[in-house]
Amino acid sequence: MHELSNLSMWHATMSDEEWGPGRTALGGDLDVDVAIVGAGYTGLWTAYYLLQRQPSLRVVVLEANVVGFGASGRNGGWCSALLPMGLDAVAAASSRDAAVRLQRAMHDTVDEVGRVVQAEGIECDFQRGGYVSLSRSAMQLDRAKASIEHLHSFGFTDDEYRLLGADEALSMCGASKVEGGTFTPFCAAIHPARLARGLARAVERAGATIYEHTPVIEIGNRQVRTQLGTVRAGVVVRATEAYTSSIPGHARDLVPVYSLMVATEPLPAAFWDEVGLHDRATFNDGRQMIVYGQRTADDRFAFGGRGAPYHFGSKISADYDRNERVKELLHETLREMFPSIGDATITHQWGGAVAAARDWWCSASFDPETGLATAGAYVGDGVGTTNLSGRTLADLITREPSDLTALPWVGHRSRKWEPEPLRWLGINAMVRLPISADEHEAKKGTRAKLREALIGRLTGH
């Protein structure tokens, strides 16, 4: 068993061959064309597409731990077209047409990830079964109807986003209390750690070098200083996502927000005959507190949710990856949604930090004057979005004009988060807000419209 198998169920279910041999650390000073900080999806996709465009580039990726150590290896396994900011927010900052172009670029991204996975022989259990969001109360169904009407007002069709009746929703995902739902085909279930490790091998085959166990202590114009040497580069890509706050000078750029998960033992065929998810559609329901799940390729539930607290000073610690209260809440929620799960064992619990910008926007940017490129702030919607980031940064860095470089998230600047203790007070109030909205709906049987409006205002939806 690999020494890092306890990071998540995904890491625990990889074979020694999938882990592969360890990579060496940086051995001293180095001169390259492109230095990428972070061997998660953003950094790996950027390296991959750079070398597709210009195979002669000298590209290195610097990783403090190992490939797929952070959110890229531990997430819920949704390769989706979701963006953290809403269409209205994008349209307000650009235009309705630009917002639609960005969303359709995300639709294409799901297929692009599938294309690369097949072309590179990456066995990551990729299955494009779509995404079903169940409505399990009248209030949730009202929100589902409004969501589909809103998407259709932008010109999207039923082939892209459609409302489901109760019978059709149940045929996709046989949860309890289902009154309807929504469906979009633009999502694939994956094994995230296998995608990260397989993509790293594809990047190395293309000519890049990945240095693990090489913590970066400073990112400057055209150079990266590590504990083991300085890398000088024409272009430096910061792909550090939730770990950005630990880099000097970037403490308030992004905040780490924890999301926690559980996984069951493999469940019997009779259970899946009843529950469905035959195409492994990813699923959630319409509650305000975000939950997310998938049927894994080995027939487990992998199920997660938000609700863990933000830690003072944007601190990230392995101690926060597991929380017994949240584990029990997730297990209780899963049993409430699928009563026939019975006493199935929870075999794994884990978590990790994702990054959020102050205005809930993700973005990709490159400054030719300083040579600094960056992308991130996916707020947990990064499996697909990182691929769009990688292609976009590759086009920006190689000066190849494209439709991607004209998308409205390119060059977006989010203002910094507030200093402490305001940051701690504000974010934990935001964490509590959807929980209290759900509690209101359960107790009163009516929508918590003021709380809903606040959530929408804060997240740009």
The DSSP-derived string for 5-24 is GGG-HHHHT--HHHH-SPPP
213 token code pair? 């166990």
Write the CB contacts of 60 (distance below 8 Å, at least 6 apart in sequence).
Answer: 30, 32, 34, 35, 36, 208, 209, 210, 211, 231, 233
Pairing of β 131-135 and β 282-285: parallel
Q: Which domain holds residue 390?
A: 5-76+192-253+359-406
What's the number of domains the chain is made of?
1
> Which residues have CB under 8 Å from 89's CB, separation 6+?
359, 360, 361, 460, 461
Q: Is residue 242 part of a domain?
A: yes
Could you tell me if residue 70 is inside a domain?
yes
Mean pLDDT by 10 residues, the chain (461 residues): 91 93 95 98 98 98 97 97 96 97 98 98 98 96 96 98 98 97 98 98 98 96 96 98 93 95 97 96 92 97 91 94 90 95 94 95 97 96 97 97 96 96 91 76 75 67 64
Q: Does the residue 121 lie in any domain?
A: no
Q: What is the pLDDT of residue 355?
A: 96
The answer to the question of residue 308 being in a domain is no
Contact 299, 276 (CB under 8 A): no
**Quick one: pLDDT at residue 457?**
67
pTM for this prediction: 0.96
CA distance 461 to 336: 28
Side-chain-facing half-sphere of 267: CA atoms under 13 Å = 25
In this prediction, residue 460 carries a pLDDT of: 63
- Residues making up the chain, counted from first to last: 461
Instruction: State the CATH number of the domain containing residue 198.
Output: 3.50.50.60
Tell the burial category of 449 from Cβ atoms under 10 Å away from its Cβ (0-12, 13-18, 19+): exposed
**Which pLDDT score, from 0 to 100, does residue 178 have?**
97
Q: Is residue 168 part of a domain?
A: no
On whether residue 127 sits in a domain, the answer given is no
Chain centroid to CA 436: how far?
25
Q: Identify whether 436 is part of a domain.
A: no
Answer whether residue 61 is part of any domain. Answer: yes
